[in-house]
Each structure stands twice: as C-alpha cells, then as structure tokens.
Structure 1
Amino acid sequence: MASKGKKAFHESKAKQKQAKKRRVLFSKRVSRTDVLKRLAIPTECLAFLPRFCGGHALELSVRDENGHCWTFVCSIRKTGAYQKPVLQQGWREFVLAKCLHVGDRVTFYEQESEDGIKIFGSILPRSRYGIEIEKTMRPLTARPC
C-alpha cells in the first residue's frame, strides 16, 4: 500500500513540474469558421512562434494530449498593417480527427522539453507546442461526428 501512495506522489510531482514549464499561448471556443476552414489565432501569439523571416507562412509541429504530432501551417497576411495569423494546412485534418464542433475549446501552449539543443557547451531548452481540446456538452439529438 505504501508504494502505491509513493508512486502517486511522484506522478503528481512530475505533473506539477511539467505544468510549470508550460505557457498557454491562447485558449478559445472555436467558431464556425474555425471548424470549417481555418483557426484564427491572436496576433499576440506571434511573439512566441518562430520568426517568419520575410515570408508569410511557416510549419509548426504540435503535439496533442495523446502525444500524436500534427503539422500545421501558420500564415499571416502578405500585405496590410494587421497580420491576422491563422492555422490552415493540417488544421481541417485535426478538426475531423478530433471531431471538433462549434463551441469546443482549443488551448494552444508552448512547453519546454526535457531535452535541449547544445550550443557552445550550453544546453538551451527546446520549445515545442501542444494543443488540447475540451468538448462541450451536446444534446443527445446532436449528430455524432
């Protein structure tokens, strides 16, 4: 019995450690456009994404809560003052696989991994992105995915 309690304690500590290294970039209820076409993301999140380096699109590798890796293309407008970032390519496949519906919540976060990149003798943490979904309650008459 004592070993089960000890194991639960260590698992709890590991989850707390993981949560400390996680930064939520945004969380939102998905709209009809988010489900049918692309996910609009807040412009403020661009500061936490890799640089576009003069381009208007970049690939992001994102892990879901089950550890599955998804590749999304994040793009911004080519012209104009407002960049309006969106996740496009790869997003619809994610929506269909997760059976997302209008009103479900999507949380996108940045998390440091335990491994890192060694540069000139220093180990820099490697950031990776994660995504979680929270389904809303639907009436029994709602059609399934």
Structure 2
Amino acid sequence: MVVNAAGRMILSTIADLDLAALDAMHRTNIRGTFVIAREAARRVRAGGSFVAFSTSVVGTQFPTYGAYAASKGAVEAMTLILARELRGRDVTVNAVAPGPTATDMFLTGKTPEQIDRLARTPPLERLGTPDDIAAVVAFLASPAGHWVNGQVLRANGGLV
C-alpha cells in the first residue's frame, strides 16, 4: 500500500497569486504526486493499493482556492487514469478528497470566525478530524475496500 498525503495549500485570488508560489505548490501537489504514483505503479504488488489526496474544494469552488483546487484536480485526473493503466494487476487506485478538516494546513492563516463558518458549512456542522480521514484511507487500503477502484471519495461531512 502506498498513501501520498503530501500537500501544500496557498490561498490567493487567481489575479493576485505570485507565480513562484504557484510553482512551489504545483511542485508538491502535482509533480510530487506524479512521482509517488509512478513509483507505486512500478512496485505495488497484486492486492495492494495506492491512495492519493485531493480536496473537496475541487467541487465546492470556494474563492481564493483556485490554484490549490487546480493542483488537486490534476491529482484526481492522475488517479483515475492510473487506475485504468493498472488494469489486470489487482491494484486499486483511489483518491480521498477531504473537506474542512482540523489540520495545521487547514487552520493556519484563518481567523476563528472563518474556521467557525467553515465548520458549519457541511450538513454535519463540524470540521472533520484527522481520524475521520484516516479511517477512509484505511478502508480503501483494506480488503473490505478492494472493490473500490478509480474513485475520488469526498470525505467532507456532506458538502456538495
């Protein structure tokens, strides 16, 4: 099993984002995921799995998340294609797309008011926890989740 959870999030309007910041984020989120996926494709044995990380913002389209969502949209495309490229190898390839989750990456730079507003956005009216997301990854990597393949699972408390 390989899980690639490395990611970088830089928030800015598209009009104002510094291109050096965009390049740094894409180097981690797109190139980093590509390299790990390539190595997983070469090494994961039958019955194994590869899980990448996207974001539910790809679907929610919150302002200032444009560059971040674009980088994670690339992760989703790679995930779906790799699942098909590994046809016949008995290896599952999926992505988890968390919604607002109480991690340092999510919390950093946000005011308590912003955090509270985002926590109330999902129908479950709370932030996800790292344990919530870990349980989804554990399922996808387990024998119970082996029939799930080529999917992006939005673990987000019910966000659209």
TM-score by length of structure 1 reads 0.25
TM-score by length of structure 2 reads 0.23
Which has more strand, going by share of residues?
A: 1
Which has more helix, going by share of residues?
A: 2
